[in-house]
Amino acid sequence: MNGPIRKVAVFVAIMMAALLANTTYISVFRTDSLNAEARNRRVRDAEFAANRGAILVGNTAIAESVSGDGTRFPYVRSYPDGETWSSVTGWYSYDYARSGLEQSYNDVLAGTSSEQTFTRVMDVLTGRRSQGANVSTTLNAAAQKAAVTALGDKQGAAIAMDYTTGEILALASTPTYDPSLLSDTNLTAARDAWSTLLNADEGPLKNRATREVYPPGSTFKLVTAAAAIEDGWVPSTEVDSPDSLPLPGSSRSMGNSTNCGGTRITLEQALKVSCNTAFGNVGLQLGSEKLQAMAEAFGFNQEQTIDISAATSRFPTDIDAAQTALSAIGQYEVAASPLQMLQVAATIANDGTMMRPYIASAVTNRDLSVLQSTTPTELGQPISSATAEMLQQMMVATVESGTGTPAQVSGLVVGGKTGTAQWDLDQPPYAWFVGYAEDPSVAIVAFVENADIERNDISGGRLAAPIFTAILEALR
């Protein structure tokens, strides 16, 4: 009799040990993943019922929790002037999770971060309802509103950054949307709003500023020019600029959309008038490896380091001579986010030093104690200060008397580069402008994906440069 009982006891002991081991494993190693599991409604209900912290621009909340229906959801997420700030805040939804700063800083906003453990314990002991921390941003309200207004009903994006610190002053993607529609505690209404926004032809839920990549067109000539100068060229170095450049090993040729000013011009003149064949020849002389190395020094083919979700910009590898010439003018398979091209201009303006871009400056508890703070961080030195100085000279000349004249702002020293990226003969080209000012020390990128106008009226100077100037004027 003792034998069977002993076997049952051993079996039960093994099962108990296995249960305890599995419970321990789940508690130690799987807590975060289970809490993040979309089907975990208990966690979602608890999070949605919490008094979430605010996202602030100065002392003004651009996202905050307000009193809800008092039953299932005691609080509801509110977005004052939500359409202005949706590209930054993102959404906070019961069924569709989070995006933007709501996602990046979810744990501190929800009050569940490790830094808030003591506060949570004290809340339990005192019977006080827990409250999330506030996230303060670097954003400038006037610049943000100028960006959204200037973009208007176009599909596009604009970002402004203090190139000496990396502080993002404005970040807009249009068309915008109202995140309050997705945080509605009437879940049926929120689901209907999600379906409408998700299926809209204009793609309002896309973040074109950081999450999408596009052919950068002639704005990429800044990278090609940087590679040339690092290789020993100077602005006065001459390069062939024929009306048509046969692409090696190909039946195709590269043409110009502008008068280059001669069949042999200086590097500075080539940038001023955005001469394709001249920069195609620069790319052929440098070779693909030097172009790729410079692109990657600026951040292509690497994850972006901003504190909201961002796409990786691409420069093609293992390319032949014809593909190298096309890549040198920002075509072929080159693809960049507006954030990436902003980083190129900002690095040039900052004498060759690349700063880490950031939006959140500090996280503060309700007692105003600082849980986290952000300080300016150098990411590297893609180009020398001497190279940056020559590029600055060329960019200022481009605005003073080249394709960038629409970006002139009275009383300010402005440097920039236009771009008009052909990507599909059946679709309108993309319009770009990227540039900087010396005082205020700001770099700005403006990008227009679709303005719903005639193809022949689309250019970086005509469409994107006025967005640049509107934001710059707001920051003066």
Please state the φ and ψ torsions of residue 409, each to the nearest 5 degrees: -130, 125
Backbone angles phi, psi at 15, to 5 degrees: -65, -40
> Is 93 noted as a catalytic residue in this protein?
no
Distance, in Å, from the CA atom of 232 to the CA atom of 387, rounded to the nearest integer, reads 9
CA distance 157 to 175: 9
Q: Under DSSP, is residue 54 helix (H, G, I), strand (E, B) or coil? A: coil
- Annotated catalytic residue within 86, 113, 183, 218: 218
DSSP helix/strand/coil, 61: strand
Under a CB-based contact definition with an 8 Å cutoff, are residues 218 and 420 in contact?
Answer: yes
Interatomic CA distance for residues 461 and 405, integer angstroms: 7
Which residues neighbour 3 within 8 Å (Cβ) at sequence distance 6 or greater?
none
- Can you tell me the distance from the alpha carbon of 350 to that of 219, in angstroms, rounded to the nearest whole number? 18
Compute the residue count for the chain. 476
Residue type, 383: I
Q: What is the DSSP letter of 335?
A: B
Q: Pick from 223, 358, 356, 357: which is nearest to 298 by CA?
A: 223
* Three-state secondary structure string covering 242-285: CCEEECCCCCCEEECCCCCCCCEEEHHHHHHHCCHHHHHHHHHH
CA distances from 454 to 10, 451, 463 (A): 81, 9, 12
Among candidates 292, 257, 298, 246, which has minimal Cα distance to 434?
Answer: 298
User: Going by DSSP bridges, is the β-strand pair 264-266/253-255 parallel, antiparallel, or unpaired?
Assistant: unpaired
What is the DSSP annotation of 145-185? HHHHHHHTTSEEEEEEEETTT-BEEEEEEES---GGGTS-S
Closest residue by Cα to residue 87 from 156, 150, 18: 156
Residue 164 near residue 74, CB atoms below 8 Å: no
Name the residues annotated as catalytic. Answer: 218
